[in-house]
């Protein structure tokens, strides 16, 4: 699973759970436009760590923001938790390892962490095979 696939799955999940709310990727600005409405999402970090020669840990942290800081629905934290706790990435469910609702500069945000363990699968190579050829000589019986 790639970071782009996970990000797309988060956007799709948010759009499915909040069909009447605009969902868009966050811009570079930390403080959103005061006229903006809806939910933004952005990747905060992505990390791939090797545990062993054939095993890796992928860690992704996302920030989800409700853009109307003065008009937060009371059920929003619970709805976001429910929507993002388990997401489907190309048919495979992934569960968040941590969901944390916090306030930064009076702007509420949800931090979502996904951690996956992956194993490098070695390709099964075909072993060398010995090909044996035999030549048979045919003699003419007309001697």
pLDDT in tens, 12-60: 999 999 999 999 998 765 555 556 788 999 999 999 888 888 888 899 9
pLDDT in tens, 60-77: 999 999 887 778 888 888
pLDDT in tens, 62-119: 999 988 777 888 888 899 999 999 999 988 899 999 999 887 776 778 999 999 888 7
The residues near 76 (Cβ < 8 Å, ≥ 6 apart) are 66
pLDDT score of 11 more than 90: yes
Does any domain span residue 133? Answer: no
Share of the chain above pLDDT 90, in %: 43
CA distance linking residue 36 with residue 26, whole number of Å? 11
- In which domain, by residue range, is 69 found? 3-28+36-119
Assess contact for 64 and 80: CB atoms under 8 A.
yes
pTM summary value: 0.74
pLDDT of residue 79: 93
Does any domain span residue 101? Answer: yes
CATH number of the domain where residue 105 is located: 3.30.2000.10
Q: Identify the helix (H) or strand (E) that includes residue 82.
A: helix 76-85
The residues near 92 (Cβ < 8 Å, ≥ 6 apart) are 1
């Amino acid at each position: 699973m790639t970071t782009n696939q996970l990000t797309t799955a988060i956007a799709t999940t948010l759009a499915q759970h909040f069909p009447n709310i605009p969902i868009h990727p966050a811009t570079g600005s930390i403080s959103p436009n005061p006229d903006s409405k809806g939910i933004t999402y952005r990747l905060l970090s992505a990390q791939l760590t090797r545990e062993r020669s054939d095993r890796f840990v992928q860690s992704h942290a996302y920030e989800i923001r409700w853009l109307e800081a003065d008009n937060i629905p009371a059920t929003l934290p619970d709805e976001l938790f429910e929507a993002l706790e388990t997401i489907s990435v190309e048919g495979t469910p992934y569960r968040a390892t941590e969901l944390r609702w916090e306030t930064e500069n009076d702007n509420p945000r949800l931090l979502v962490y996904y951690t996956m363990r992956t194993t490098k699968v070695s390709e099964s190579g075909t072993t060398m095979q010995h090909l044996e050829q035999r030549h048979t000589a045919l003699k003419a019986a007309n001697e």
